[in-house]
């Protein structure tokens, strides 16, 4: 019989019905149960996949360890990243750092066909790379999102949505933050052209550290489709926010998180 679901081991959609809700794959001869969790996988199999995902192993490595087809592994990882994207603090308060950065890879690593079509981009503000805005609470939590531009009309509504009135906001001197004090915040500045920590102790080094962490992780991926960039951003925001948990605790947390999807 041909089914609408696939074998978790080989991906085939042809089965023999063995007994109620149990099927044997025509191709690999392995028996599976049609699960109701949306992945056609048992809780144990999900847990093993999540365990190796937490350890940041490749798809091939996860397949070796679980004997589950790449189709189902990718399906689980996509669901995980979507869940991680939503599992962030709703509102920050206290001492808050805000900053923006850009992603897009180095020019020297671009394909020749891309270089032939595009001019060499500028560095920093004015670049054609993808801008990202981030908010970090000095207690250790961070939030980040892809944005269209770094102007005040884009940045300040995000600050007002994510940061409680009365909080102290630390930023550089970019014009996109000018006037944020009039919205009910205490605004402290550091001029990066001169120093990274002002004479009064103002800095955004916590968020700068997160940008470095994020970029190292994305570089290690060897290239990500732009349509999936927001998912990987959500993944590394989640990993950073839960860095104090050990592997077992992160696995259990994610297993409960993905079960709610």
pLDDT in tens, 61-100: 999 998 888 888 998 999 999 999 999 888 999 999 999 9
Mean pLDDT of the 26-53 span = 77
CATH of 95-223, one of 3.30.420, 3.10.350, 2.30.30, 3.40.1130: 3.30.420
Q: Rounded CA gap, 111 and 15, in Å?
A: 44
The confidence score (pLDDT) of residue 228 equals: 92
What pTM was computed for the model?
A: 0.78
Contact (Cβ atoms closer than 8 angstroms) between residue 176 and residue 151 = yes
What is the location of CATH 3.30.420 in the chain? Answer: 95-223
Q: Which of 54, 58, 86 is nearest to 74 (CA)?
A: 58
Residue 46 has pLDDT above 80, yes or no: yes
Q: Are 41 and 62 in contact (CB under 8 A)?
A: no
Residues 48 and 65 sit within 8 Å (Cβ to Cβ): yes
Q: What is the pLDDT of residue 7?
A: 67
Give the DSSP letter string of 12-48.
Answer: --BEEEEETTEEEETTT--EEE--SSSSS--HHHHHH
How far apart (Å, rounded) are the C-alpha atoms in residues 17 and 33?
A: 10
- The answer to which of 29-43, 48-62, 166-180, 190-204 has the lowest mean pLDDT is 29-43
Q: So what's the pLDDT on residue 37?
A: 47
């Amino acid at each position: 019989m041909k089914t609408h679901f696939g074998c978790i081991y080989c991906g085939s959609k042809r089965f023999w019905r063995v007994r109620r809700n149990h099927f044997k794959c025509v191709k690999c001869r392995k028996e599976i149960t049609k699960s109701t969790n949306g992945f056609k996988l048992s809780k144990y199999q999900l847990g093993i996949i999540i365990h190796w995902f937490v350890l940041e192993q490749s798809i091939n490595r996860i397949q070796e360890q679980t004997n589950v087809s790449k189709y189902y592994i990718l399906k689980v990882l996509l669901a995980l990243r979507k869940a991680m994207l939503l599992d962030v603090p709703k509102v920050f308060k206290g001492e808050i750092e805000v900053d923006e950065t850009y992603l897009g890879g180095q020019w020297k690593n671009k394909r020749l066909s891309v270089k032939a079509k595009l001019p060499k981009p500028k560095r920093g503000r004015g670049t054609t790379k993808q801008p990202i805005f981030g908010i970090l609470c000095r207690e250790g939590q961070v939030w980040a999102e892809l944005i269209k531009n770094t102007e005040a009309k884009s940045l300040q509504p995000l600050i007002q949505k994510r940061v409680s009135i009365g909080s102290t906001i630390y930023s550089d001197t970019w014009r996109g933050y000018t006037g944020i004090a009039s919205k009910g915040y205490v605004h402290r500045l550091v001029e990066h052209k001169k120093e990274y920590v002002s004479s009064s102790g103002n800095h955004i080094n916590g968020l700068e550290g997160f940008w470095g962490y994020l970029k190292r992780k994305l570089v290690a991926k060897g290239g990500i489709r732009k349509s999936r960039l927001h998912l990987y951003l959500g993944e590394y925001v989640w990993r950073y926010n839960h860095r104090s948990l050990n592997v077992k605790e992160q696995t259990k947390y994610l297993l409960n998180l993905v079960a709610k999807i």
